[in-house]
Amino acid sequence: MRSADKAIDIRPGSSRTTHLRPTGQAGLVAVALAVALALAGCAGSDEPTDSLGSTPPAPASTAATAPTSTEPSAPPMTAEQRDIVERYRLYWRTVEQVLATNDVDSPALRDVATSNQLITLIEKMIKNEAEGITVQGTVVLDPGVPVIADGGLSASLRDCQDGSGWLPYHDGKVDGVGVPRRDGVAVTLWLVDEVWKVAATVFTEGRCDET
């Protein structure tokens, strides 16, 4: 089947009347019949036809194919990495609780923090208590995939967190207004007695990319 732009236009009978020289009544009948056939051919459809006289079908429409995503997915975490992330989340939930009451003797805090991080938090709560300040609210976390080092004894991860809903209160009244923003946090965790604890945090205010 030829395509529409190359179809051959053959009109029936158009080439069969050029050499006819009819005579008499029979000739007149033949001439009339030939003219009628020619007119019938001219009155046909102007649409292009193929060599068999049929109109070629319109080309089938092709459905648009939705583009596929090429964005790489994050690699799956191991069980140990998932445990580290959960311990990091527990660390922040515990910090929110103890700083809301300045509970420097909290056993829960010592279960999630160690080394300089634990000392810094205790010193902060002692200072806040002396000034009549508590910190209340929730920190929104978005930790990345941890990197385990030192033969499985330490780990690091980066968080991109929003602390605008975690505000200081002075004598029971909120002191200031939180501004929504994302802060980068470089976190170091140590494995202490088979338990992951936060040993250090370094903040980059207003940006989450690495420095």
* Domain boundaries of the chain, sorted by first residue: 1-56, 79-204
Total Cβ atoms within 10 A of residue 52: 8
pLDDT average, residue stretch 9-36: 42
Q: Residue 188's beta-bridge partner residues?
A: 156, 200
Q: Across the beta sheet with 154-161, what order do the strands follow?
A: 147-149, 154-161, 183-192, 195-204
Architecture, CATH, for domain 79-204? Roll (3.10)
Model confidence pLDDT, tens digit, residues 42-87: 444 454 444 334 445 555 555 555 555 555 666 799 999 999 999 9
pLDDT average, residue stretch 126-144: 97
Give the torsion sign (CA, 129, 105, 138, 206): positive
Model confidence pLDDT, tens digit, residues 165-190: 999 999 889 988 777 889 999 999 99
Which residues lie below 8 Å from residue 82, measured CB to CB, with a gap of 6+?
A: none
pTM listed for this prediction: 0.65
